[in-house]
């Protein structure tokens, strides 16, 4: 279903895409999940190896199912019954995948990707390894600048993720980050992608509705 966006949001999306392009990151807007799937089928060759980073957005939009059921060599870290060792093997093999799919914790209107990771497997593959990285982001991920990006992670993304992962961290009960020193802390690697050497290696698809958190 197409989400009804206000004109200000449309301007913010256009500004974000313009600034991503200035940083050698390809930006694209799609209206909904159907357009998203069509674009991914166009960009991901059949038979190629695909890996994913942890992302509610990819589950919500049906992309994980698309990869499972499609003609891809999908490194499925969500496979039921997967062992810890098998998962770690997938993390390492993800670096040589043809395509790495993920979302982002925040996407700035100034054209940067801001991410905070627990074990670094997602941000590492975003930075280097896979031939192409496709980032899928709902409009709720768009923030004005890096300052707002950090705020978004501390007040929204990380506490909700810690809750989903059933971590014993203070943010789960407080609802905001207190920069804990918990053994369960999920915020260990803070990565800002400001620009790409290889033009178009990272592609950002903004879907015209809120997705993930």
Q: Site residues (CB under 6 A) for ligand SF4?
A: 158-159, 162, 169-171, 177-180, 182, 185-187
Q: Which is nearer to ligand SF4, 100 or 213 (CB)?
A: 213
Q: Are strands 113-117 and 189-193 parallel, antiparallel or unpaired?
A: antiparallel
Q: What is the DSSP string of 91-130?
A: HHHGGG-SEEEE--SEEETTS-EEEEESSSHHHHHHHSSS
C-alpha of 49 from chain center: 18
Q: How far is the CB of 53 from ligand SF4 (least distance, A)?
A: 17
How much of the chain is helix, strand and coil, in % rounded to 5? 40, 20, 40
Q: What's the min distance (Å) between Cβ of 117 and ligand SF4?
A: 11
CB of 170 to ligand SF4, least distance (A): 5
Of residues 50 and 158, the one with the C-beta less far from ligand SF4 = 158
> 186, 194 in Cβ contact below 8 A?
no
- Rounded to a whole number of angstroms, the minimum distance from the CB of residue 161 to ligand SF4 is 8
25 vs 162 by CB, closer to ligand SF4: 162
The CA-based angle 151-196-49, given to 5 degrees, is 100
Least Å distance, CB 146 to ligand SF4, is: 17
Beta carbon nearer to ligand SF4, 25 or 177: 177
């Amino acid at each position: 279903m197409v989400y009804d966006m206000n004109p200000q949001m449309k301007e913010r999306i256009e500004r974000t895409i313009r600034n991503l392009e200035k940083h050698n990151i390809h930006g694209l807007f799609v209206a909904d999940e159907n357009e998203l799937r069509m674009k991914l089928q166009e960009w991901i060759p059949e038979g190629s190896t695909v890996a994913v980073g942890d992302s509610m957005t990819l589950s919500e939009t049906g992309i994980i199912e698309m990869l499972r059921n499609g003609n891809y060599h999908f490194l499925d870290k969500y496979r039921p019954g997967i062992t810890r060792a098998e998962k770690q093997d997938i993390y390492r093999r993800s670096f040589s995948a043809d395509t790495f799919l993920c979302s982002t914790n925040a996407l700035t209107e100034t054209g940067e990707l801001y991410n905070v990771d627990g074990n670094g497997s997602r941000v590492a593959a975003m930075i280097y390894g896979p031939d192409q990285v496709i980032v899928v982001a709902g409009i709720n991920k768009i923030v004005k600048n890096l300052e707002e990006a950090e705020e978004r992670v501390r007040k929204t993304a990380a506490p909700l993720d810690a809750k989903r992962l059933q971590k014993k961290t203070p943010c789960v009960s407080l609802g905001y980050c207190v920069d804990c020193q918990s053994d369960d802390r999920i915020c260990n690697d803070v990565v800002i992608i400001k620009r790409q050497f290889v033009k178009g290696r990272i592609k950002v698809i903004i879907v015209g509705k809120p997705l993930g958190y």
